[in-house]
Amino acid sequence: MLTKHEKIDEKRIDLDILDTYLGKNYCVFDIETTGFSRSSDIITLSCMLICKKDELNMIQYFAESPEEESLIIEKTIPVLTNCDAVFTYNGRAFDIPFFIERAKRTAMAYKNTASHDICNIDLLRLFKNHLPLTKNLKSYRQRNIEDFFGIAPNRKDEISSADNITLYKEYLYSKDKNIADKLMLHNYDDVRQLHRLADKASEADFDKFIFNENISYNNEGASFCIEKITVDNSNIIIKGKQKSINAMHFSDSCSNYKIAAPINYKFSKEDESFRIQIGMRDALGQFKYIDPAAFLDSNDLNKIRDKLHLIDGLMPVTIYNKIEYRNLNLFAKTIVSNLISKLTT
């Protein structure tokens, strides 16, 4: 297996969204494969631009033979699962599920790793669904988005993604180092450009993106994935994945306002799921709200208080039927982490 490690002279992404939701240690990730079949094709190359503290490092792992795919996986997974955020481009549909399936088939030490163990921020989905200015684009290929933001001239590689499969087959036959270098340069430039695209994330509606995506957190030792948040006439419902606990609690009525903190929850290790239901109150039909202090202790609430939109200490969930995305995202993350931490001690 060929390995390249390079310190990158580039500024880290300085986004409010990282501090608000995820954390400062992030990774930009891309893979190359021999095709699209998770059962018969393999990973030929993995590239990660890793940011810890203020230092950026690029690491590439290239399979000199198909048998080295498992080595790539074994080197890559610990990085992905320990980053606060992993930026990809079409990673939700391709890179992450492909990588996880290949891990199950070839890397026994990581066969139980799941997609929800990785906090994947798919920039394709962010820019396509939550940046109105891109609606007129004919294609959402990474290079088109680079053109849109004016960063395409930084490209150095000379091959297209479609050339990778043919070139890799040529490499396996010839072991020509120049071919390996060309493949790694293409992948390297993809990731450098993807890092620059990630820096544009604040131009999209990231709060709404977080609300609509499966987002994984490792929050003070509590690992979980929030898959869906819904708001009905009287409740907030939070669903997701966790592997830590079995626990259950039901109030007489989750929307019974006589209860100080109307909350129902069920955590199951058997199917690695959780469901939390929280009762809301209604203010003359104008907005629905909760009192966050009824559900969170003062330490947890103080950590997010400055980031919440509060009215006299109350947290609006909807105002004139418009969802307060940031409020819900932060509250959901904090209440799930709080419950897992308390129920495991």
Domains along the chain with CATH numbers:
2-205 (3.30.420.10), 214-344 (no CATH)
For the chain, the average pLDDT equals 90
pTM: 0.92
**Torsion angle in degrees (nearest 10) through CA of 195, 199, 203, 206:** 80
Expressed in angstroms, the distance from the first to the final Cα of the chain is 43
Q: Which residue in this structure is represented by tokens 């997974």? A: 77
Mean pLDDT of 108-112: 84
Tens-place pLDDT, residues 241-266: 998 889 998 875 544 444 455 899 99
Which one has a higher pLDDT value, 251 or 206?
206
- CA 221 to CA 165: how far, in whole Å? 40
The CA dihedral of 20, 22, 28, 33, to the nearest 10 degrees, is -140
133/315: higher pLDDT: 315
Q: How many Cβ atoms from other residues are within 10 Å of residue 88's Cβ? A: 27
Share of the chain above pLDDT 70, in %: 94
Assess contact for 237 and 229: CB atoms under 8 A: yes
Nearest to 29 by CA among 101, 103, 78, 80: 80
- Residues 164, 161: Cα–Cα separation, whole Å: 6
Question: What token pair was written down for 165?
Answer: 């499969």
Position 221 scores a pLDDT of 65
Contact call for residues 221 and 341 (beta carbons, < 8 A): yes
Which class for 11: exposed (0-12), middle (13-18), buried (19 or more C-beta within 10 A)?
A: exposed
DSSP-derived letter for residue 311 is: B
Q: What pLDDT, on the 0 to 100 scale, is given for residue 233?
A: 87
Helix%, strand%, coil% for the chain, nearest 5: 40, 25, 30
Cβ proximity of 116 and 241 under 8 Å = yes
Mean pLDDT of all residues in 178-182: 95
